């Protein structure tokens, strides 16, 4: 019973974040595009593993950021410089993971997409 409750609460948290956070919806839209493109260019097993790790990292970072922002907003409803810094650092972590994942995606996808487009 407890295990299924844990999964139910986890999915509930993801669904709530998806409804409330535009950035998470953007990440999921990019994820769908990456998966479709990966399928079309026939990524290797290793490339899929790398892409899946990147996708999981970005989505997880965004969920952590959302949790941190929600907690900070609850504990500091009034403007507070330190609370603002905490939220900025959490957002910065998402940015780092997203940029690194994008670079990895370009390294994997760009040569393959160019190859498909140029017929090389």
CATH classification of the domain holding 93: 1.10.287.3610
Q: With a cut of 80, say whether residue 84 has pLDDT above it.
A: yes
120 pLDDT band, cuts 50/70/90, is: low
| pLDDT tens for each residue of 65-78 | 999 999 999 999 89
> pTM of the predicted model, to two decimals?
0.89
Domain tally for the chain? Answer: 1
| pLDDT tens for each residue of 27-54 | 999 999 999 999 999 999 999 999 999 9
* Domain extent at residue 93: 2-118
90 pLDDT band, cuts 50/70/90, is: very high
Q: What is the pLDDT of residue 4?
A: 81
Mapping DSSP onto H, E and C, the string for the chain reads CHHHHHHHHHHHHHHHHHHHCHHHHHHHHHHHHHHHHHHHCCCCHHHHHHHHHHHHHHHHHHHHHHHHHHHHHHHCCCCCHHHHHHHHHHHHHHHHHHHHHHHHHHHHHHHHHHHHHHCC
Q: What is the pLDDT of residue 32?
A: 98
Average per-residue pLDDT for the chain: 94
Mean pLDDT of all residues in 72-85:
92
């Amino acid at each position: 019973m407890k295990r299924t409750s844990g999964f139910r609460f986890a999915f509930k948290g993801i669904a709530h974040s998806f409804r409330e956070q535009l950035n998470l919806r953007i990440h999921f839209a990019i994820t769908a595009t990456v998966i479709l493109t990966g399928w079309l260019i026939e990524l290797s097993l290793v490339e899929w593993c790398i892409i899946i790790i990147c996708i999981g990292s970005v989505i997880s970072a965004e969920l952590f950021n959302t949790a941190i922002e929600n907690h900070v907003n609850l504990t500091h409803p009034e403007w507070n410089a330190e609370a603002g810094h905490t939220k900025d650092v959490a957002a910065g972590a998402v940015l780092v993971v997203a940029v690194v994942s994008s670079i990895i995606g370009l390294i994997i996808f760009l040569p393959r997409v160019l190859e498909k487009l140029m017929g090389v």
